[in-house]
Structure 1
Amino acid sequence: MTFEVSILTFIANSMVFIILAGVITKKIAKLSKFKDSFAYLGLKKDKNFKNNVITGFIFAAIMPFIQLISMSIVGFIVSLILEIELVDILRQYYASIAESEIGQANIIQKVMVAICMIGFVGFGEEIFFRGLLQKNLVSKYGQNIGIVITAIIFTLLHGFYMFELPIAIASATALFVVSIIFGILRAKSDSLIPSILAHGVGNAIIYTIGANMLYNLFT
């Protein structure tokens, strides 16, 4: 897969989530006579906007570490059961990014990756998962259950199952943990801004510099 195809794939996947969220929200708005679809999804500028932006950037900065810690804890347990080295699990996971076309991209291409992650992936996935899906699940089942169900669906719809079993388990755990965090950010702030930034900027950090640094660390 070339760099261009990789970027277009990210954008195409994100656009699917954006379109789905838009169509479903429009139908909900008609049924409930809810006039502001953007506010319904959590896209609003209120008195807490500045704090929401700051919160989003803070969690984006620590997201690679949260991912690493959660993968390390579960990876350690898996390594004991399957008698493999934890460092091998972590190295192979980060190699999947660092050795890909995106991981090997030049500076200009990395800027494109960052724009794609923030403008499409973070925005598109958060609108669908936390803006639409979680909001409705929370309304039906309560906050805790709604956040957990959303995190499970989010995890299942990402490609962790493409890895070998030890890496897949560690990767799925990291996806679930960060999804729970995104869900809590959405619930506590009543805004989608923190989770969009945490997701998009966090991904940008991992895909542009984080994975390469961690891969070199474990090699």
Structure 2
Amino acid sequence: MKDDEDRFQEEPPKNDFLDNSVNSGNKIKYKFCPNCGKKLPEITNLKYCTNCGVDLNYVKEHGFLPPTQNQYYYSQPQDYSQYPVTNYPYKQKKASISEEELPYTGDKELWGTIQSIGFPILAFIIMNGLILAVIFAMALIIYDVDLLLNIISNPFFIVFATLVELMLIVFPIWYAGKFLNKPTFENRLKLLGFTTKGFEDKEIVKEVLIGLGFAVVGLFIVAASSIAIQFFIEFVFNVRIINEAPTSDADVLITGADILVLILMMLMMILVVGPCEEILFRGFMMRGLTRTMGDNWGLIITAIIFAVIHLVGLFIYIFQPFVFFILFLYLFAPYLAISLMLGYLYRWRNENLIAVIVTHGVYNSLTILIAFFFTAF
């Protein structure tokens, strides 16, 4: 009987491990028990959990908890507050989000600022790198520069480049799974706000109609911001922006496009560009930044990054500093305006992406349609 009692007792620590400084005002540091999750004092020779009595040496040696029916590996909780502080290997497990909690993640801690900004930028770099790699491969095969330019400006190549945007959602969907108890594809999209779960048919129709309405509003906002920045540039820099000729490669492309290609491009905007970019920017970037930097800063920084990324082509094609500055200023304002509108819509719809995706896709389609008719007629 005495031997059995000795099994449950902690061996007293040797005098070499005692540290009088613990009792002289230093705070005891804590880790967490792998069995009950309670705090453990970081002390030398701590054999049993002070709360549940599990044998910590057994866990450390075998890598798993001892069987509950074998009481040899359990002891009565004891007070170790007088023992010296040391590092202990056990850490508290990070809580994951269950399926029931997915609709209520407003107060949940998600990915940090670095991930929120870094993954979208990395995704755009990889996407554009892939497109440039395809162009470079064609250049090695086709030595005729004019033919290569014709291929690149072909509407079907633009459709291909649009489909490449599907890779934009790879990073956010992959990383969202780290915060879920059940990281299914559906749950990952739910965490990013792309879901109709819990919506009745009337509510889905309402979200779509809101998206359509904001797409039209977006046209007026962008037009107003373009006019305002144009007046600003003319007043401050005495530079006049002329819009008589097509102002971008997209306009030149649309001029020669037929109706079938036009419809195909509009569908790509609605089915690919809208969902992918909104999952990336609003569903991942803004959702993360609002939790680390606050609602307003999260919205503003997301809008700025969204606008700058869409103007990356200027850094490649424009070499004159003043021309680059004027064009950047002229194009940045409309992109910033539409991105701010999308951010406010996302916030208003309680971080659900249905209306935002509809707005983005339909707005892009309307701009293509308007550009087509203006250049064709």
Q: TM-score range by the shorter chain?
A: 0.7 to 0.9
Partner deviation per Cα, 1:74-125 (whole Å, 9 max, x = no partner): 1110112222224x1x446x53156422343110001100111011111100
**1:170 is the counterpart of 2:330:** yes
Q: Please say which structure displays the higher CA radius of gyration.
A: 2
Unaligned runs of 5+ in 1: none
| Alignment match of 1:143 (pick from 290, 295, 299) | 295
Contact 2:173/2:189 (8 A) holds in 1? no
Unaligned runs of 5+ in 2: 1-151
Give the superposition deviation at 1:215.
6.1
Q: Partner letter of residue 210 of structure 1? A: I
Give the superposition deviation at 1:49.
2.4
Aligned partner of 2:204 in structure 1 is 49
Contact 2:163/2:272 (8 A) holds in 1? yes
Q: Are residues 130 and 189 of structure 1, via their aligned partners in 2, closer, same or farther at CA, if it must alter by over 3 Å?
A: same
| Alignment match of 1:27 (pick from 166, 170, 178) | 178
Aligned partner of 1:63 in structure 2 is 218
Moved more, 154-163 or 123-132: 154-163
**Structure 2: how far apart are the matches of 1:10 and 1:158?**
13
Q: Are residues 91 and 180 of structure 1, via their aligned partners in 2, closer, same or farther at CA, if it must alter by over 3 Å?
A: farther
Contact 1:79/1:85 (8 A) holds in 2? yes
Percent identity reads 23
Using the size of structure 1 for normalisation, the TM-score is 0.86
Q: Partner letter of residue 218 of structure 2? A: M
Larger helix proportion, structure 1 or 2?
1
RMSD of aligned Cα (Å): 2.6
**Structure 2: how far apart are the matches of 1:167 and 1:214?**
21
Using the size of structure 2 for normalisation, the TM-score is 0.51
1:1-219 → structure 2 map (5 Å cutoff): 1=152, 2-12=154-164, 14-29=165-180, 36-45=187-196, 46-47=199-200, 48-86=203-241, 88=242, 90-91=243-244, 95-96=247-248, 99-159=251-311, 162=314, 164=323, 165-190=325-350, 191-207=352-368, 209-213=369-373
User: Which one has more relative contact order, counting CA pairs under 8 Å at least 6 apart?
Assistant: 1
**Structure 1: how far apart are the matches of 2:328 and 2:259?**
30
Q: Are residues 110 and 4 of structure 1, via their aligned partners in 2, closer, same or farther at CA, if it must alter by over 3 Å?
A: same
